[in-house]
Amino acid sequence: MQTQQDVKLDQSLLDFIQLWKDKKGKEIMILHKVQEVYGYVPRAVAMEVSRLIDMPLAKIYGIITFYHLFKLTKPGRHRISVCLGTACYLKGGNDIIGELENILGIGVNAVTDDGSFSVEIVRCVGCCGLAPVLLVDGKAFGNLKKEDLPKILSEYSQTTQ
Ligand code: FES
């Protein structure tokens, strides 16, 4: 019996659940898909997934909280992903995070007050030759210097409301 208000899931997510619901590892695959669709795992969606794959909600949340890559809060309109894989770490990835904190006033896994930006850490994004690298909404900026950040951010600030 459903104990929540009806949630209309994205059709691509419903199709994905249908494809995976009887397979091994379904919960991880489906949670990845949820995050791909919504940018995080909304509670209402987690509840609906729990119902559809007949898995206790507590188990779903156990997975979400165990794997740090799953997010429980809505990201900013623009997602900044700072690579801290080995190459980027060695070339100053942490300095990039520090400078973002100075400019935006938020740390890792936080969202600016106006909802424009969120900052997260990712591991190697596959372009180590360009280290240090950050992504904004999936677009890579490489050979990054702290001084480059204001210009990059201003491009995205202009696209917010
Ligand atoms: S370590 Fe950053 S792209 Fe590979």
CA–CA distance, 21 with 144 (Å, rounded to integer): 42
Strand pairing of 110-111 and 78-83? unpaired
C-alpha–C-alpha distance, residues 129 and 73, integer Å: 32
Task: Please say if the pLDDT value at position 159 is more than 90.
Answer: no
DSSP labels, 126-146: S-GGG-S-EEETTEEE-S--G
Query: What structural domains does the chain harbor?
Result: 11-66 (no CATH), 78-157 (3.40.30.10)
Under the banding of pLDDT at 50, 70 and 90, the label for residue 161 is: very low
pLDDT at 55: 95
Output the pTM of the full model: 0.73
What residue has token string 């677009």? 139
Task: Answer whether residue 2 shows pLDDT above 80.
Answer: no
Is the confidence at residue 80, as pLDDT, over 60? yes
Task: State the Cα–Cα distance between residues 138 and 22, nearest whole angstrom.
Answer: 31
Q: How far is the CA of 95 from the centre of ligand 1 (A)?
A: 15
Convert the pLDDT of each residue in 99-119 to its tens digit: 999 999 999 989 999 999 999
Q: 108 in ligand 1 pocket by Cβ < 6 Å?
A: no
Q: How confident is the model at residue 160 (pLDDT cuts 50, 70, 90)?
A: very low
Share of the chain above pLDDT 70, in %: 94
Check if 83 has its Cβ closer than 6 Å to any atom of ligand 1.
yes
Q: What is the mean pLDDT of residues 32-45?
A: 93
Nearest ligand 1 atom to the CA of 131 is 2
pLDDT at 1 (0 to 100) = 43
